[in-house]
Structure 1
């Protein structure tokens, strides 16, 4: 009986995309990391122990969701700053 476990290709894709989301492909890499990370975790759970790579999938998910949170925070800061500037302009 062969007991070697194969690493999920979706988990690898998630981690690589998460890294690319922080470097070369900010939006697309982040989106792919999140989607493939969730798909990989489901695939690993349903594999009955044949697939490995949950840590890689979690790493991709963390990178993806953290990048998303920073994008949202950045957009909020820009809108709040511009809204504050517009408000100050109306005071004069």
Structure 2
């Protein structure tokens, strides 16, 4: 009995590589590409599970992509709150004079 070999989905590999790039060289762009390719890869794998594999790679790319986006948003919020608080302190200090 000849069982055809399952091939790794290329979009899953792209998602994983871009997820890694999102943590290193291309923080925001790599993460967006990882998220898009990860979702596309998972849908392709679900449509033809007998011929394609790589769902774990796609999930890893998605997780890394989403984590970079979440951490970026939290960092931006922290910077805004820090400088907003600093401006408020300076405004109150200047109002006393």
- Give the greater-gyration-radius structure (CA): 2
Q: How many residues align?
A: 92
Q: TM-score, normalised by structure 2?
A: 0.91
Instruction: Name structure 2 gaps, 5 residues minimum.
Output: none
Structural mapping, 1:36-47, within 5 Å: 36-47=37-48
> Paired residue for 1:76?
77
Work out whether 1:6 is the aligned partner of 2:7.
Answer: yes
Which stretches of structure 1, 4 residues or longer, exceed 3 Å deviation after superposition?
none
Cα drift, residue 89 of structure 1: 1.1
**Which residue number in structure 1 is paired with residue 16 of structure 2?**
15
